[in-house]
């Protein structure tokens, strides 16, 4: 039975070898929507999705580089969950992305 489960896991991994690509796409979309919601009404000018794409791309990239495939798959299966590992990686990535690009401001 264990061999069967291992075979299935390996098969699924081979079909989708890059959890990070799927994660990055899904996370970026969720991030942009979250940022639009959080910044709604804070500036006189209207913010658009394009205003947050560089930030969200940066954060998603750093998270996908530092998370395990298992963690990335956990997010892909239920993107609305924010487990502790994701919150910790988001915090580090956010700080890094904001300090790395002077155009991104809080």
pLDDT in tens, 8-46: 343 444 444 466 677 888 889 999 999 988 888 776 667
C-alpha 13/C-alpha 31 separation (Å) is 25
When mean pLDDT is compared across 3-12, 52-61, 78-87, the lowest value belongs to 3-12
Reduced to 3 states (helix: H, G, I; strand: E, B; else coil), residue 18 is: coil
* pLDDT exceeds 90 at position 59: yes
Cα distances (Å, whole numbers) of residue 18 to 22, 37, 74, 91? 7, 29, 14, 23
* pLDDT exceeds 70 at position 7: no
Domain residue extents for the chain: 18-100
Distance from chain centroid for Cα 47: 21
The residue that leads in pLDDT, 7 or 68, is 68
* DSSP letters spanning 60-81: HHHHHHHS-HHHHHHHHH-TT-
């Amino acid at each position: 039975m264990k061999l069967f489960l291992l075979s299935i896991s390996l098969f699924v991994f081979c079909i989708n070898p890059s959890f990070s690509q799927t994660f990055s796409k899904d996370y970026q979309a969720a991030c942009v929507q979250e940022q639009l919601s959080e910044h709604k009404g804070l500036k006189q000018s209207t913010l658009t999705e394009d205003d947050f794409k560089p930030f969200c791309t940066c954060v998603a990239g750093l998270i996908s580089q530092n998370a395990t495939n298992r963690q990335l798959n956990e997010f892909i299966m239920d993107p609305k969950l924010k487990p502790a590992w994701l919150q910790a990686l988001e915090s580090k990535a956010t700080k890094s992305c904001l300090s790395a690009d002077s155009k991104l401001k809080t």
